[in-house]
Amino acid sequence: MRKFEKISFDQFKKDIKDDIDLYHSYMLPKRDTKYAAGYDFYAIYDYRLKPKEIKKIPTGVKALMEDDDVLLLIDRSSMGFKYNVRMCNQVGVIDKDYYNNNDNEGHMWIKIQNEGDKDYVVKKGDGICQGIFMKYLKTDDDIENEIKRQSDY
């Protein structure tokens, strides 16, 4: 099974805000067109990023995926092309065992930096990154590691 879920309200209160209306109002990622490869992630609230500023942005989302899947979190093209804003790590790599981990339920965050010369303004509901599920391969001589991230699944 492969799907996105909201983090629990308890985790939302820890990470974002104790606001049940805000919790119920934000959207899960979705593909905006029939042939879109990426699922757009949306801003939970308004924010502004000044030139040279870096912000850590919560998504409020966790992802369940198949054993040989990885979820890549990638900039939306317009962020870099139009505004010179990018994710600090360029591509976020989310492993299957990040889901429901004991530290934060698998809550995914992005960290973005404004390298432009104008404020970058994001409104609640604006796209902030995209997620692409992909299969990954292992080497033929891979030695399976039995160590698992501590999680509730």
Start-to-end CA span in the chain (Å): 13
How many CB atoms sit inside 10 A of residue 68's CB?
11
Domains present along the chain, CATH in parentheses: 3-135 (2.70.40.10)
Using one digit for the tens of pLDDT, what is the confidence trace for 90-105? 999 999 999 999 999 9
Helix (H) / strand (E) containing 121: strand 120-122
Q: Please give the model's pTM, rounded to 2 decimal places.
A: 0.91
Using one digit for the tens of pLDDT, what is the confidence trace for 2-31? 999 999 999 999 999 999 999 999 999 999
Q: How far apart are CA 73 and CA 130, in angstroms?
A: 6
